[in-house]
Amino acid sequence: MAIALRKPGEIEKLRAANKIVGGALELLRQNTKAGVSLKELDAMAEKYILSHGARPSFKGLYGFPNAVCTSLNQVIIHGIPTDYKLQDGDIIGYDVGTELDGWFGDAAITVAVGEVSTKDEELIACAKESLYEAISSIKVGMRFKELSQILELSIRSRGFVPLHSFCGHGIGKKPHEEPEIPNYLNGKSSKDGPKIKDGMVFCLEPMICQKDSKPLILENKWDVVSADGLRGSHYEHTVAIVNGKAEILSQA
């Protein structure tokens, strides 16, 4: 497994691509309100990305038809934008990717529409808090499997479970690079596999189910839900290891 080590100038290029992702997500957050359609939100984010000199990297990636993954309620990841108009009580996940001068950015948030249930608030908080908890735990020399274990324990401690078969990943000159970073420990030991080093850049993205980790893919071949049929949530940041510490590149 060859995990790229980026030079400072390359990390700055990744930071530039990811800053546009963060701005697009903030625009989506601000415009998340009852009555706006998923396609309108998608178009809004695409216009923002293009206006900043980047391109929406998800559009056409593996055949995905849009700029933004809009994952509504039970859809945890990879939701395709439709004409559906948001309603109070919905929760909506946005996953945005960009490509700027050959370098990629990627991040995601889940947002409540108006007043939502306490359970939905906890579900969204689980994705966000487990992400930041994992990022704050990163140290040079720790193994990626240890990071996966931290994510899983953080998710389970909040009463939820991680979605299986989908994971975080490296990022750079391609949208998905080595390593794969599950949100759960694969195997019995966290003390094997590659170690985190200065210069590595990767995406962490906890994907949260309520009861069942098993994923199901819906008829459109994209929307991923849990086998429990309940609502899910998703948060993601691109992080770079700089001088021994994790820096979030995809902040607004």
Is residue 205 predicted with pLDDT exceeding 90? yes
Is residue 226 predicted with pLDDT exceeding 80? yes
- Rounded to two decimals, the pTM is 0.98
Give the residue numbers spanning the domain of 228: 8-248
| 59-111 pLDDT, tens digit each | 999 999 999 999 999 999 999 999 999 999 999 999 999 999 999 999 999 99
Q: Supply 212's token pair.
A: 């069942």
Question: Could you give the number of structural domains in the chain?
Answer: 1
Is residue 1 predicted with pLDDT exceeding 80? no
**Residue 142, domain member (yes or no):** yes
pLDDT of residue 10: 98
**Residue 186, domain member (yes or no):** yes
Average pLDDT value for the chain: 97
| 161-175 pLDDT, tens digit each | 999 999 999 999 999
List the one residue out of 217, 107, 226 whose CA is nearest residue 161: 226
CB environment 116-140: b (16+ within 10 A), e (fewer):
beeebebbbbbbbbbbebbbeebee
> What CATH number does the domain containing 72 carry?
3.90.230.10
**Residue 156, domain member (yes or no):** yes
Is residue 148 predicted with pLDDT exceeding 90? yes
**Residue 197, domain member (yes or no):** yes
CB environment 35-55: b (16+ within 10 A), e (fewer):
ebebbebbebbbebbeeeebb
d(CA 8, CA 18): 15
Q: How confident is the model at residue 252 (pLDDT cuts 50, 70, 90)?
A: confident
Q: How confident is the model at residue 206 (pLDDT cuts 50, 70, 90)?
A: very high
Is residue 20 predicted with pLDDT exceeding 70? yes
| 99-111 pLDDT, tens digit each | 999 999 999 999 9
**Residue 155, domain member (yes or no):** yes
Which helix (H) or strand (E) segment holds residue 19: the answer is: helix 8-30
**Residue 172, domain member (yes or no):** yes
The DSSP output letter for 38 is H
**Residue 93, domain member (yes or no):** yes
**Residue 2, domain member (yes or no):** no
pLDDT of residue 201: 98
